[in-house]
Chains A and B, each alone.
Chain A
């Protein structure tokens, strides 16, 4: 399938050099790599990336990545919504120290010819990793540009042979209250669950993510396996996945259970359909530092800029009702 470049690229935003493959820049953007290396007792080991996170092996660059300069590694890993670790944006980074993403198993069940419990390596190692720069648009009207590393979800799902009855794919996050302090509160019902239609799950833009910035996913970003569905609000991109079920019926999803008037099953990024309490027409591009203090908000794009690729999934669907 031909994927055209998103239309929102300004020439001023094009970075001539892919800066995070430049080690000096990487060190600068990570900021605290020295501390990470010190803590692990290693000094600049070849397989070590920012903050001591393990570098992923061979990663191919996806040609249709956003050309916008990504947010820094520090921004990507310190400003997160991951209620399993707390509801504050800094909580996931601060409270995820006890989380152990390895070993990891994923249960695959439902309408499949190959149900079972599969090891992380079994799921991931058969595929070539791709790096894709997507913008994450949070339903809270902020966004972040992130160099994700992953595998098109479709390639993985096909290996587990969904049957013809599989119309939806349901996902479930791990429950480990002893490692995830937010799960000791009742702010949401655990486990966190999400779902996609089979067409959405099989869409070439939907990514099963294993890393950011060329390193394994930090706990706060949803280690070791998470989704990234770039045309949907961030909460659809479920983190720390332990279960994938092919289902005939539409599966329940956490935020739509928690606030059915505010969060729908589809949750497609749509500047024309406001959240009941705030506008979705514009977004704040997350950016630390004094220089960005006076920066203007930017317009939110239909399907987060991927209308050409995904609008056809929703022909005939009332996007106001099916928010």
Chain B
């Protein structure tokens, strides 16, 4: 059976939306204490951390689209890149809002001190700020308007991902195992791109 691109899009998009929203749904159920789910004794940090982790995971999944397309030699993964990137942005925006409102209770002096004096927060905040223009210009309209510059702008995703993983690496107290997994995955995704870019160059020459 041959599956058309249209069919992949029609089936894939709702499935991916469902999958991407799942952590958020679980979080909402935990807040409402439905189905035995709980936020635990430190709810502010729990919400903040769950959102941050899923944001970073989805960011890495978004970066895996190009290598995946290359590996399977089919263009369809591209259909879902924007969807995944926007979900990553949504989680990270909520992560940011949680930090701002729940963790720091909107105490601006505290937040400014954090941004200036805590390197991991400086990194995280920079990464998030850089993501905003990408989210805004993610529409087809903006893509058309910006033309070739769109691609250039969206290359910002690489420094954003590096800053995001670095932010995670710097904030843990001692157990680096989880952040190192993220850093390792990111390294693989970036090295794969460099590898392919070189291979293409050699072939062209």
How far, in angstroms, from A239 to B141 measured CA to CA in the complex?
Answer: 61
Interface residue? B118 (CB, 8 A): yes
Q: Which residue of B lies closest to A274 (CB)?
A: B117
Q: Known contacts being A187-B174, A293-B102, is A284 close to B44, with CB within 8 Å?
A: yes
Q: Are the CB atoms of A277 and B120 closer together than 8 Å?
A: yes
Interface residue? B20 (CB, 8 A): no
Q: Known contacts being A290-B31, A297-B104, is A187 close to B41, with CB within 8 Å?
A: no
Interface residue? B173 (CB, 8 A): yes
Interface residue? A256 (CB, 8 A): no
Q: Known contacts being A279-B113, A296-B105, is A284 close to B42, with CB within 8 Å?
A: yes
Q: Which residue of A lies closest to B101 (CB)?
A: A294
Interface residue? A15 (CB, 8 A): no
Q: Known contacts being A277-B120, A290-B31, is A187 close to B175, with CB within 8 Å?
A: yes
Q: Are the CB atoms of A288 and B173 closer together than 8 Å?
A: no
Closest CB in chain B relative to A173 CB, distance in Å: 16
How far, in angstroms, from A74 to B120 measured CA to CA in the complex?
Answer: 32
Contacts of A279 in B (CB 8 A): 110, 113-114, 117-118
Interface members, chain B 27-48 (any A CB < 8 Å): 31, 33, 38-45
How far, in angstroms, from A286 to B44 measured CA to CA in the complex?
Answer: 9
How far, in angstroms, from A293 to B46 measured CA to CA in the complex?
Answer: 11
Contacts of B107 in A (CB 8 A): 296-297
Q: Which residue of A lies closest to B178 (CB)?
A: A87
Interface members, chain A 258-282 (any B CB < 8 Å): 258-259, 274, 277-279, 281-282
Interface members, chain A 54-106 (any B CB < 8 Å): 71, 74-75, 78-79, 83, 87, 89-90
Interface residue? A188 (CB, 8 A): yes
Closest CB in chain A relative to B12 CB, distance in Å: 34
Q: Are the CB atoms of A284 and B45 closer together than 8 Å?
A: yes
Bits for B150-185, please: 1 = Cβ < 8 Å to A, else 0: 000000000000000000001101110000000000
Interface members, chain A 166-188 (any B CB < 8 Å): 187-188
Q: Are the CB atoms of B41 and A286 closer together than 8 Å?
A: yes
Q: Are the CB atoms of A89 and B175 closer together than 8 Å?
A: no
Bits for B69-110, please: 1 = Cβ < 8 Å to A, else 0: 000000000000000000000000000000000111101001
Q: Are the CB atoms of A79 and B174 closer together than 8 Å?
A: no
Interface residue? B133 (CB, 8 A): no
Closest CB in chain B relative to A70 CB, distance in Å: 13
Most chain-A Cβ atoms within 10 A of its Cβ — which of B40, B110, B170, B173? B173
Interface residue? A142 (CB, 8 A): yes
Q: Name A's B-contacting residues (CB within 8 A).
A: 71, 74-75, 78-79, 83, 87, 89-90, 140, 142, 144, 187-188, 258-259, 274, 277-279, 281-282, 284, 286-290, 292-297
Q: List 7 A-B contacts (CB under 8 A).
A: A74-B41, A75-B41, A274-B117, A277-B171, A284-B42, A284-B44, A297-B110
User: Sorted from nearest, which 10 A-B pairs have the closest CB atoms?
Assistant: A79-B41, A87-B175, A75-B41, A296-B105, A288-B41, A286-B41, A286-B42, A187-B175, A293-B43, A278-B118
